[in-house]
Amino acid sequence: MSTPTFSRRDTSVLGRWWWTIDRWSLSAIIIIMAIGILLSFAASPPVAERLNLGTFFFVKRHIIMVPPAVGLMIVISLLNPQQVRRLASFLYLVGVILLIFTLSSGAEIKGARRWIVLAGTSIQASEFIKPAFAIMVAWMLAEKYRDFQFPGLLISFILLVILVVLLLLQPDLGMTLVVISTWIGQLFIAGMPVIWMVILATMAVIGLCGAYLLFPHVARRIDQFLDPTSGNPQHDLYQVNQSLEAFMNGGLFGRGPGEGIIKKNVPDAHADFVFSVAGEEFGLILCLALVGLFAFVVIRSLLRGMQESSLFTIMGTAGISMQFGLQAFINMASALHLIPTKGMTMPFISYGGSSLVALGIAMGMLLALTRRRHGVTEVL
């Protein structure tokens, strides 16, 4: 029996969607999600048992959130650029409201307020506002280059300041760095003069120094990264040391599914250090495959976006791609101790219900912007 497919003459919504969507990126994203489910089975049961939640508590919650993430990704990928801008505007406004609500009513975990509980579900509002911010910045800069009288750069800066202030009040320095990097990257693509890029880079360095002086936990992590002997190896560097040992134990092919040790000793093995579990149980092969999949989605999306004539599409694609790649890089680099430890999930791999749904929305926007639109001319 032949596999059903869409004819190129099919003019239905799904037919047009199938022949215009970037099927290679879509396939890579779905494969990443499948690996995430596999690693959920590998990493989360010992964590759930330590918390007396039932062996497959986190596995079930992870799997339950995958269909909504996939559904949102596909539905949003059906949108045209104008509809993507409208969705981003709505998400940015709602995200700001949720971030303000988080500061006043969110649960404090390890000295930070980043989560709120709505309808029995923990939500990290910054995950939802992040892709919306990239789209809004792309929109404002595109309008600026269409009409030089339009204050697009100023508006994008105001959007950045609002978001950065709310993130630093939590505080969430990692997400702040991702947002600022996205903004600077989009300005570079938009043709910002080099002198302004130098000024922005200088301000970023000053901001990092300020964070070191103002936030004790930031200073502690940077000190421990530069000088591992400055911290208590049994407390401050425990998770990092366990992570590095897991990679060494895994070798090329890993110890085998279920044979890992790190997940029994590290509290965040199912979240921030899931890459370490992958390295220990499945070896270097799976780790390189994950790196390749993330790189493939980012590079292919950038190349596909650059082929568009719309400046908005180019910058929107670049913004979301950079966020996706940076988030994956920060998680992997933290697990390998290549950068100071930063609690940031690996896209579609780490446990996190709101993170999965937010990523589904972000990837839906990315796929919507990189669809082929032959015969359609956009102003922006």
Which helix (H) or strand (E) segment holds residue 118: the answer is strand 112-118
The per-residue pLDDT for 240 is 83
CB atoms within 10 A of CB 103: 14
Nearest to 278 by CA among 325, 336, 230: 336
Taking the CA atoms of 108, 112, 116 and 120 in sequence, report the sign of the dihedral they define. Answer: negative
Q: For residue 56, what is the DSSP state?
A: T
The per-residue pLDDT for 10 is 63
The answer to whether 356 and 66 are in contact (CB under 8 A) is yes
Q: Does the pLDDT of residue 5 top 50, yes or no?
A: yes
Q: Does the pLDDT of residue 375 top 50, yes or no?
A: no
3-class secondary-structure state, position 222: helix
Range picked from 66-80, 221-235, 301-315 for highest mean pLDDT: 66-80
- Higher pLDDT among residues 5 and 151, named by residue: 151
Q: Rounded CA gap, 265 and 263, in Å?
A: 6
The per-residue pLDDT for 233 is 56
Those residues whose C-beta lies under 8 Å from the C-beta of residue 370, and which sit 6 or more positions away, are 22, 25, 301, 304, 305, 308, 313, 317
When computed from its CA atoms, the radius of gyration of the chain, rounded to whole angstroms, is 21
Average pLDDT, the chain: 85
Q: For residue 121, what is the DSSP state?
A: E
Q: Does the pLDDT of residue 376 top 70, yes or no?
A: no
The per-residue pLDDT for 379 is 42
The per-residue pLDDT for 347 is 92
pLDDT in tens, 259-278: 888 888 887 788 888 999 99
The answer to whether 301 and 22 are in contact (CB under 8 A) is yes
* pLDDT bracket for residue 236 (50, 70, 90): low
Beta-ladder partners of 108: 113
* pLDDT bracket for residue 242 (50, 70, 90): confident
What does the block give as tokens for 171? 């505080």
pLDDT in tens, 107-143: 666 666 777 877 667 788 889 999 999 999 999 999 9
pLDDT in tens, 32-81: 999 999 999 988 888 888 888 888 888 998 999 999 999 999 999 999 99
Strand order in the sheet with 121-123: 107-109, 112-118, 121-123
